[in-house]
Structure 1
Amino acid sequence: MSMLTQVDPYKPLALGTSQNRRVKLNTDAPFTPTYIQASLTQSGDPQGIYATRVKNRHIVLENPPRASNAQKEHDAKKARRESEKKRRKTGALGRRSTGAKGLWKLENGSEKFDLFLPLHQLWMGYMSELLGLWPPSSVPVAEAMPNASSMHPKLVKADFHGSLLTVRQSKNPCLVGLSGIVIHETENAFKLITRKDQLKLIPKQNSIFTLAVPLYSTLLRAQFEPAEAVSSALSGQHSGTVLDAPHIAFDLYGNQFCFRSADRAGRKFKAKETIEL
């Protein structure tokens, strides 16, 4: 009959080598820093290496799953549905609804250039305030000229309804020379009222426009001008356009301007080289 010897599994190992020593871990010495610092035997500063390269850093063990094209289309449709619900709650009309109801169509007999001169004068005042123009005859012409680098970011995001545009160059020769007040801007075209009381639809694509901006401010400042000058200016403020006074001309490339006015206001434009038509 053989005698069975009992072995205590919890008895510490009777090995004197340093490689088999049991490591006692506690909150003051957790496993990760203790193990890494003990493994860096060839480094002179294992604690510094752990603090700069390992501590508070997460390692991704596997690549996250990529979103499929079907999932992207589903998310895009869901976002469009949510935006459509918000628009319906506010009661705002979309582009299709406004086009179907004819909200952007002028009434018969309202295609008059003089009828939209007050809108043009209002736009000149808007430009004067936006660009911070000087009052007339207060400073010389050289000093009144604003800095071009500060004007460009404001002009590309400005509202052009009421501005005076002229087609300087176009692939369609019939459009060259047309000039008028902008009464409606879409993503791909301008609607102008010419001096001949004609409504023209000018495409932005393959066209270069000239935009005129007043050099001096057109806003009336009663605190600086006498009452007689203010009354005379009020009586004749709708008689001329921006071309009848000192102005600044800019070239507007339609190929790089195919955006709605609302989209341009929140868009970040980057400086690019312009290719001629």
Structure 2
Amino acid sequence: MDTKPKKDQPIAAILLARAHEPDEANRIFTEKIQQRPLFLSASSPPPANARAARRRAQEKKKQQRKKALKPKPLSATQRRKLGLYDVPRAPQKHALFEPLHQLWLRYVREILGNEVYTGGEGAAAKLASADFHGAGVEVVRSGCVSRVGIKGIVIKDSKFAFEVVTRRDQVKLVPKEGTVFRFEVPVPVPGVKAGEGEKEREGPVQGGETPKMVFEIHGEQFQFRSADRASRKFRSHFSKKL
């Protein structure tokens, strides 16, 4: 039997013929090499999308790096421990918050628009989602009689209470539950046109009184944080306590 390797014989068959008998070498070559199954990964992208797959992988790595470098935000417990929600005692002066009150008046007139003159359900819906930091507030009714008459500027609008600084530079914590608060917004009076725009002025009109929009809120209906009220939709419903 001729055992010399042929020129067109694969190198694997030649090496097996040197180590095994011819029949055994042919069996091994047939089962292990020629008929060996080739397993393809199901997640392997086709050649046409290989470039897009590489781009997605690179973008994913970049996003993971950004997340690793970005610091985690502080939790509510950590913020309270650091005192981020506390107002320092030194600047608890009524005069210091007067500019904030004037800014709030411009803010509430802007969100009300023409409804500052008419009021109604549209104005109530806008006021329900407004921010009351800097608002001038007065307690008109309360379950605790000693709180009635407290008047000042809201320096903190939390979920369950208003913190108010009075004209005597005292900070009062007024719970919202069982309390009715009154707010007054001076109504701008159209003045005389000058140039291109129309000026607006505030102050006494001919009768000697400044027109104001006065509204009251029931604190029990406002037991939400100001940030939560901005995205919350309020619906009119009957309340037994009103």
Please classify the TM superposition score into its range, dividing by the shorter chain length.
Answer: 0.5 to 0.7
Query: Which residue of structure 2 aligns with residue 100 of structure 1?
Result: 81
SS at match of 1:145: helix
- Residue 256 of structure 1, CA deviation: 1.2
SS at match of 2:229: helix
- Residue 254 of structure 1, CA deviation: 0.8
Query: Which residue of structure 2 aligns with residue 118 of structure 1?
Result: 99
Tell me how far apart the structure 2 counterparts of residues 264 and 217 of structure 1 sit (CA, whole Å).
Answer: 30
Deviations 1:35-70 (A, max 9, x none): xxxxxxxxxxxxxxxxxxxxxxxxxxxxxxxxxxxx
Structure 1 unmatched ranges of 5 or more: 1-85, 135-143, 238-243
Query: Which residue of structure 2 aligns with residue 21 of structure 1?
Result: none
SS at match of 1:118: helix
Pick from 117, 128, 138 the counterpart of residue 145 of structure 1. 117
Pick from 243, 251, 254 the counterpart of residue 216 of structure 2. 251
Does residue 268 (structure 1) correspond to residue 240 (structure 2)? The answer is: no
User: Quick check: 1:164–1:180 contact (8 Å CA) kept in 2?
Assistant: yes
User: Quick check: 1:123–1:161 contact (8 Å CA) kept in 2?
Assistant: yes
Pick from 107, 113, 125 the counterpart of residue 132 of structure 1. 113
Label 1:224 to 1:159 Cα distance change in 2 as closer, same or farther (>3 A). Answer: same
Tell me how far apart the structure 2 counterparts of residues 269 and 190 of structure 1 sit (CA, whole Å).
Answer: 20
In the alignment, residue 163 of structure 2 is paired with which amino acid? K
Label 1:187 to 1:250 Cα distance change in 2 as closer, same or farther (>3 A). Answer: same
Percent identical across equivalent pairs?
38
Label 1:118 to 1:178 Cα distance change in 2 as closer, same or farther (>3 A). Answer: same
In the alignment, residue 164 of structure 1 is paired with which amino acid? G
What TM-score, normalized by structure 1, do the two folds share?
A: 0.53
In the alignment, residue 83 of structure 2 is paired with which amino acid? G
Query: Which residue of structure 2 aligns with residue 68 of structure 1?
Result: none
Query: Which residue of structure 2 aligns with residue 58 of structure 1?
Result: none
Pick from 202, 209, 212 the counterpart of residue 174 of structure 2. 202
Tell me how far apart the structure 2 counterparts of residues 254 and 192 of structure 1 sit (CA, whole Å).
Answer: 14
Higher relative contact order (CA 8 A, sep 6+): 1
Aligned length: 167
Tell me how far apart the structure 2 counterparts of residues 249 and 200 of structure 1 sit (CA, whole Å).
Answer: 22
Tell me how far apart the structure 2 counterparts of residues 123 and 148 of structure 1 sit (CA, whole Å).
Answer: 21
User: Quick check: 1:128–1:217 contact (8 Å CA) kept in 2?
Assistant: no
Tell me how far apart the structure 2 counterparts of residues 193 and 182 of structure 1 sit (CA, whole Å).
Answer: 7
- Residue 90 of structure 1, CA deviation: 6.3
- Residue 245 of structure 1, CA deviation: 4.0
- Residue 225 of structure 1, CA deviation: 6.4
Query: Which residue of structure 1 aligns with residue 17 of structure 2?
Result: none
Label 1:133 to 1:217 Cα distance change in 2 as closer, same or farther (>3 A). Answer: farther
Tell me how far apart the structure 1 counterparts of residues 210 and 114 of structure 2 sit (CA, whole Å).
Answer: 14
- Residue 104 of structure 1, CA deviation: 2.5
Label 1:108 to 1:188 Cα distance change in 2 as closer, same or farther (>3 A). Answer: closer
- Residue 109 of structure 1, CA deviation: 2.5
Q: CA RMSD in A?
A: 3.1
Label 1:128 to 1:100 Cα distance change in 2 as closer, same or farther (>3 A). Answer: same
Map 1:1-277 to 2 at 5 A.
91-133=72-114, 145-216=117-188, 224=197, 245-276=210-241
Tell me how far apart the structure 2 counterparts of residues 102 and 222 of structure 1 sit (CA, whole Å).
Answer: 50
What TM-score, normalized by structure 2, do the two folds share?
A: 0.60
Whose strand fraction is larger, Structure 1's or Structure 2's?
2
Query: Which residue of structure 2 aligns with residue 5 of structure 1?
Result: none
- Residue 192 of structure 1, CA deviation: 0.8
Computing the radius of gyration from Cα coordinates, the structure with the larger value is: 2
